[in-house]
Amino acid sequence: MSAIFRVLVNNQTYTDRSSHALQSALSHAYHKSEAFCMCHSQPVKLIIKCYHKGTLNVMHGLARWPETGFDHHQDCLFFGDNPIDRLQHALPAVVKTEEGLQRIYLEAGLELPSKASVPGQLKSFKSKSAEVKRNRLDDATLLNTLWRTSSLNIFRGKSTQWFQACYAILNAAKRFIINQSGATLDQYLLIAAANHDKLINAHNQTVMAHAGNGKHQLLVIGRLHHIHPEKKRQILPLKEFSGIPRISVQREQLESFLNAHQHVGDNSIGQTSKIMLARIAPDNKEWWNCESLNGMITDQNLIPCNSIAELAFAAFLVSQERRFVRIIHEGPDDLQSRCQFILIDGFPRTYCEVFDSLLQDGVDNIALRGKFFEGSGKRYLSWIREDGSPFPTLPEVQN
């Protein structure tokens, strides 16, 4: 499926991204007029960008405005969201390169300190200048970034199976450059897939073959299985574990993960998955040691859910055959970022906020939020699970 590309510049429509005609139109329009994406009936404003300004290689391009990514058609080239950096006025943690790859700045590098060097020294990207602060991805945010890049937080009307997620994650990891020597994340990432998943198994074999020198840590993504609460140390219990080495994990590590996600709980709403991102270091020949454990709970379609209300609402949307995004939050807690779901099968987009109980918030605040969204031309709806209220009426689907 090729992405939709249909833009309007100076009242002229262009459908070829690389055409000279579009380049010339953009260079005329730059700083003078606006460009719009025409992926569906509702035009969405685009930014005209200028690259290599003042050189012979000057080029123009188009980009989405912040917070308009989900206003585009789901197959549009500009559909999607931008990661939000926690530190404002600092350099971003994820930077697009011209080759369509992304540089990611990890909080902790994957190289192990050699005996001569300072323990914990980072071998990932370093800041060029000490004064320039840079956002960095911790492992929990890295997992979110992988999920978002793989579009695993989007329900497009078809259920998502774990093997599909494995491929999507691997492909996303191949596009992330993680250090100065140009290594990509996939070279350090094991993905816990089923036995018969040949491609992922071959990938894991390659990763393990290069991990033999014991000089770096690895990351492992997999689904957590039943833990043995009586064992102080156990093998990391993964649901699928083909090609994964033996990883020793402490009971406290598993317990603190489970406690952090207790409020999502096992429940009657449907099957959930506990997704783990483990950072592991070689221990001895046979074993690796789990250094840290991060993760999230997803519904049966691998959509991240952070409360029982979210699981119930996601199941409701799926039963209604709706297409939606589960927004992955990281940034400052503004009104818009409080919503968990956006319906992407109608216009204007509907932002949905769901609560386990109203105690977390107040009726006044909900009314305020409704006004905020109305003012910005978007729809807002809220749903509270605890009071047993029926699911809200959803706006109609329009394409």
Question: ∠137-140-142 over CA atoms, to 5°?
Answer: 45
Per CB under 5 A, does 35 bind Zn ion? no
Task: Considering the complex, state which of residue 26 and residue 280 has its C-beta at the smaller distance from Zn ion.
Answer: 26
User: Of these, 14, 68, 72, 324, which contacts Zn ion (CB under 5 A)?
Assistant: 72
Q: Which stretch binds Zn ion (CB under 5 A): 33-41, 102-110, 243-251, 289-297?
A: 33-41
Give the residue carrying structure tokens 């992926």. 39
Identify whether the C-beta of residue 356 lies closer than 8 Å to the C-beta of residue 385: yes
User: Of these, 14, 70, 78, 147, which contacts Zn ion (CB under 5 A)?
Assistant: 78
Q: Which stretch binds Zn ion (CB under 5 A): 76-84, 234-242, 245-253, 384-392?
A: 76-84
Task: Considering the complex, state which of residue 5 and residue 355 has its C-beta at the smaller distance from Zn ion.
Answer: 5
Beta strands 59-64 and 341-343: pairing type?
Answer: unpaired
CA 213/CA 208 separation, integer angstroms: 10
Q: How many CA within 13 A on the CB side of residue 123?
A: 15
Task: Considering the complex, state which of residue 13 and residue 127 has its C-beta at the smaller distance from Zn ion.
Answer: 13
Instruction: Name 198's Cβ contacts closer than 8 Å, sequence gap at least 6.
Output: none
Per CB under 5 A, does 76 bind Zn ion? yes
Task: Considering the complex, state which of residue 38 and residue 106 has its C-beta at the smaller distance from Zn ion.
Answer: 38
- Using alpha carbons, select from 129, 85, 96, 125 the residue that is nearest to residue 108: 125
CA 219/CA 223 separation, integer angstroms: 13
Shortest Cβ distance from residue 311 to Zn ion (Å)?
A: 30
Shortest Cβ distance from residue 399 to Zn ion (Å)?
A: 13
Task: Considering the complex, state which of residue 39 and residue 254 has its C-beta at the smaller distance from Zn ion.
Answer: 39
Shortest Cβ distance from residue 14 to Zn ion (Å)?
A: 13
Per CB under 5 A, does 37 bind Zn ion? yes
Task: Considering the complex, state which of residue 169 and residue 342 has its C-beta at the smaller distance from Zn ion.
Answer: 342
Q: What is the dihedral of CA 53, 58, 62, 65, to 10 degrees?
A: -10
Shortest Cβ distance from residue 73 to Zn ion (Å)?
A: 6
Per CB under 5 A, does 93 bind Zn ion? no
Cis peptide before 348 (omega within 30 of 0): yes
Give the residue carrying structure tokens 């990938």. 203
Identify whether the C-beta of residue 357 lies closer than 8 Å to the C-beta of residue 386: yes
CA 328/CA 160 separation, integer angstroms: 18
Shortest Cβ distance from residue 332 to Zn ion (Å)?
A: 26
Task: Considering the complex, state which of residue 72 and residue 378 has its C-beta at the smaller distance from Zn ion.
Answer: 72
Per CB under 5 A, does 203 bind Zn ion? no
Identify whether the C-beta of residue 62 lies closer than 8 Å to the C-beta of residue 5: no
User: Of these, 26, 35, 39, 297, which contacts Zn ion (CB under 5 A)?
Assistant: 39
Give the residue carrying structure tokens 């833990």. 227
Question: ∠237-226-270 over CA atoms, to 5°?
Answer: 125
Task: Considering the complex, state which of residue 7 and residue 277 has its C-beta at the smaller distance from Zn ion.
Answer: 7
Shortest Cβ distance from residue 79 to Zn ion (Å)?
A: 6
Q: Which stretch binds Zn ion (CB under 5 A): 30-38, 203-211, 300-308, 309-317?
A: 30-38
Q: Could you list the residues that contact Zn ion (CB under 5 A)? A: 37, 39, 72, 76, 78
